[in-house]
């Protein structure tokens, strides 16, 4: 029994080598697992399930093939692909999970999330997040035709490339007190998240109890997978 966790692939048509590595992972590694968790930022951008780009269709088909083998696939939104919806989930055979979710990982209650909500000191980002997560703003955004949504996405990405928003995403790490708060709140001693692109297994304490914060890696220069068994969890890489 093996449970796999990935995040921060940032798939886009401009980086086919990442997509190829990911599709190979779905074909060769994932079928041997008992579950696959995708903890956000699978895609570099997402403006609606109706976009239907060749990349999105290729990924949905590959997920569906895995799901048809009987491997459950779970997805938590990232800050990039927070608009991934029910239609894409259904086509992929994956289950959408809420932004914070507790699973039983080999007997250990484990909190899983993307990780952007832990970066509370990045106030600019949190302000932007509140806006684009507002249901009314999303409802209005989805009323817009695809070509307008595409143009807005391009504009926001171009503006963010040199802005504070993008810098802080790279520079800023999680807030330690927020980590302890959400772990206590959810009654867990294990947390798995991505987003910061700083793969590591941190031994921490929650009061007197030993606890772990596991950070997934990005897929910028290699594949990055957290492999968990009854024996424990290990961070692994996959060459492109």
Interface residues toward ligand OKV, by CB under 6 A: 45-47, 79-80, 83, 125, 132, 137-138, 141, 152-153, 156-157, 160, 165, 169
Query: What's the token pair of residue 97?
Result: 């999970």
**Which of 147/231 has CB closer to ligand OKV?**
147
**Which of 29/169 has CB closer to ligand OKV?**
169
- 3-class secondary-structure state, position 17: helix
d(CA 195, CA 190): 17
Minimum separation from the CB atom of position 15 to Mn ion (A): 16
d(CA 58, CA 61): 5
Query: What's the token pair of residue 89?
Result: 């989930």
Phi, psi of 34 (to 5 degrees): -95, -15
Residue 88 near residue 134 (C-beta atoms within 8 A): no
Residues 6+ apart with CB under 8 A from 18: 9, 10, 11, 12, 219, 220, 240
Q: Residue 10, interface with Mn ion (CB under 5 A)?
A: no
Going by the annotation, the residues of the binding site are: 8, 10, 41, 79-80, 114, 122, 160, 164, 167, 195, 197
Minimum separation from the CB atom of position 233 to Mn ion (A): 20
Residue 203 near residue 122 (C-beta atoms within 8 A): no
Residue 153 near residue 45 (C-beta atoms within 8 A): yes
Q: Which of 36, 37, 41, 219 binds Mn ion (CB under 5 A)?
A: 41
Q: Which does 195 bind (CB under 5 to 8 A by kind): ligand OKV, Mn ion, none?
A: Mn ion
Site string for Mn ion, 180-219 (x = CB under 5 A): ---------------x------------------------
Minimum separation from the CB atom of position 162 to ligand OKV (A): 11
Minimum separation from the CB atom of position 183 to ligand OKV (A): 24
Question: What residues make contact with Mn ion under the rule CB under 5 A?
Answer: 41, 78-79, 195
């Amino acid at each position: 029994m093996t449970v796999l966790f990935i995040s921060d692939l940032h798939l886009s048509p401009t980086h086919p080598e990442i997509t190829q590595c990911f599709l190979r992972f779905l074909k060769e590694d994932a079928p041997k697992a008992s579950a696959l968790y995708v903890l956000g930022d699978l895609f570099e951008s997402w403006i609606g399930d109706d976009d239907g780009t060749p990349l999105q269709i290729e990924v949905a088909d590959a997920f569906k093939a895995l799901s048809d083998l009987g491997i459950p696939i779970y997805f938590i939104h990232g800050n990039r692909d927070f608009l991934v919806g029910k239609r894409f989930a259904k086509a992929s055979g994956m289950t959408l999970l809420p932004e914070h979710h507790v699973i039983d990982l080999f007997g250990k209650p484990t909190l899983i999330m993307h990780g952007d909500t832990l970066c509370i000191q990045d106030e600019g980002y949190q302000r932007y997040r509140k806006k684009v997560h507002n249901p009314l703003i999303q409802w209005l955004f989805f009323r817009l035709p695809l070509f307008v949504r595409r143009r807005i996405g391009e504009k926001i990405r171009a503006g963010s490339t040199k802005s504070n928003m993008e810098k802080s995403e790279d520079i800023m790490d999680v807030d330690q007190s927020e980590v302890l708060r959400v772990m206590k709140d959810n009654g867990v001693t294990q947390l798995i998240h991505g987003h910061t692109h700083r793969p590591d297994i941190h031994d921490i304490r929650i009061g007197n109890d030993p606890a772990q914060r596991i950070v997934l890696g990005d897929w910028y220069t290699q594949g990055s997978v957290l492999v968990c068994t009854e024996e424990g969890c290990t961070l692994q890489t996959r060459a492109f």
